[in-house]
Amino acid sequence: MRSLLSVLFFVAMTFICWGLYGPVLHEGQLGLGIPGRPSSLRPLICVGIAYFLIAVIVPLVMLQMRGEKGQWTISGAFWSFLAGAAGAVGALGIVMAFKFGGRPVFVMPLVFGLAPVMNTFVTMWMTKTFRQASPVFIAGVIIVAIGAAGVMYSKPTRQATHAAPAAVQADTAANDASSQPEAPSSQVGSWLTRLTLVPLSIALTACCWGCYGPVLHKGQMKMAGSRLRPFLCVGLAYFVIAVLAPLPLLQIFVEAGGWTFGGTVWSLAGGAAGALGALGIIMAFNFGGKPIYVMPLVFGGAPVINTFTTILHEGTYQETTALFYASLMLVIGGAVTVLTFAPRGKPEAKIEKHAPAAAEKHDSPAEKPADSVKADDALPSDPAASDSSGNEDASNDEE
């Protein structure tokens, strides 16, 4: 019971952190940019710094103080770093979706709805279980697609009182800088940008974050089930892609805005929320949680936290329609259905991995006297006793 409560605590910690990730990061982008042109590289750098502090420094300290099962391997480090790279590129996709005019109220639900679908298909490809897909699973995929389309179509818009000042300032600046006939084409270009680049950015994040879980799991298996070591590799990947890479780009491609205290704090808080959510997943697994119910709870709860946080913050609760809420529920329900009824593969693969070792233990007892064979019959029920009896039999044979 205690372990179950611990699992539920860390699951709640994850979907709250990931639910707050989008709105908090969006505030950081606005704070580091200028009205109408949110920053992209500066918030990404802050996310990378937050991941470095939480996913590199903390695991290093814990490994030095307490240690952990497993070991460092080259292949495990490679796959774990690759998972972190996918997560970092996914974070870049979120940043770009916000930069091109997307808002957390619909961007994050779409990401959290499409990412588990992508996750499931990647897992099916890695485990060769496409033929095991059930009609319920396929129906879940279709439900997510319908819900995603509904969310995009019925997303709430900002209140006119909130949007008017920014719109007036933008129109005034445009009139001063250029002639009036060019305004319509600018509006059309902005509309086309939101129509194409925002969905592409969302798709990039969904694909990257969908690959994150299976790739990280493979890294964990290559490190003999270690948790902190793969998490450390994830933090290093974020530091390379989200800090070291954007710093020179920021000098080459000058973007509007600048470093501000408020924008930096909000962006760091967004990165910390993402890193703590990833840590919560690992801790939930460490306390015995299973992906079959941990991930549906996370991907089902995170978009709810995100949506209502954004609606309350922007004051758009009066603009939300029944179609938006229904579409949001379809995305969440479809994602949970996909994760719950996804093909699980054959568990025999794990048993076969240990079969040679078990066979070696049974080779020598076959040649022993009948008494020793009876002692070895207790192997499945009491491994410790069987090991000691096996050692005693070996010493008798030597005598």
| pLDDT per residue rounded down to tens, the chain (399 residues) | 667 788 889 989 998 999 899 899 999 999 999 888 889 899 999 999 999 999 999 899 989 888 888 889 999 999 999 999 999 999 999 999 988 888 888 888 888 888 878 877 887 888 787 777 788 888 887 887 788 777 767 777 655 434 333 333 433 333 443 334 444 434 444 666 667 888 999 999 999 988 887 888 888 889 988 888 999 999 999 999 999 999 988 888 888 889 999 999 999 999 999 999 988 887 887 787 777 677 777 877 888 888 888 888 877 777 778 888 888 888 888 877 877 787 766 554 443 344 444 444 444 444 444 444 334 333 333 333 333 334 434 434 433
**Which of 214, 213, 225 shows the shortest CA–CA distance to 353?**
225
* Cβ atoms within 10 Å of 68's Cβ, excluding its own: 15
3-state secondary structure of 343: coil
Please give the helix or strand (H or E) that residue 111 lies within, else none. helix 104-127
Beta carbons of 70 and 224 less than 8 angstroms apart: yes
**What is the predicted pLDDT for the residue at 56?**
93
CA distance linking residue 309 with residue 302, whole number of Å:
11
**What is the predicted pLDDT for the residue at 341?**
81
359 φ, ψ to 5°? -65, -40
Answer yes or no: pTM beyond 0.85.
Answer: no
Q: Across-strand partners of 37? A: 34
Q: Which two tokens stand for residue 393?
A: 């039999």
3-state secondary structure of 297: helix
CA distance linking residue 241 with residue 253, whole number of Å:
17
The structure tokens 């639900």 sit at: 109
Q: Across-strand partners of 34? A: 37
Give burial (CB, 10 Å; 0-12/13-18/19+) of 266.
Answer: buried
**What is the predicted pLDDT for the residue at 396?**
40
**What is the predicted pLDDT for the residue at 196?**
82
Beta carbons of 105 and 155 less than 8 angstroms apart: yes
Q: Which two tokens stand for residue 295?
A: 């991930």
Q: What does each C-alpha distance from 245 to 57, 239, 366 come to in angstroms?
A: 20, 9, 61
**Which of 271, 279, 277, 323 shows the shortest CA–CA distance to 27?**
271
**What is the predicted pLDDT for the residue at 380?**
34
Please give the helix or strand (H or E) that residue 58 lies within, else none. helix 58-65
Handedness of CA 241, 99, 122, 212 (dihedral sign): positive
Ramachandran category for residue 34: left, alpha or beta (phi over 0 → left; psi -120 to 50 → alpha): beta
Q: What is the dihedral of CA 133, 135, 137, 139, to 10 degrees?
A: 140
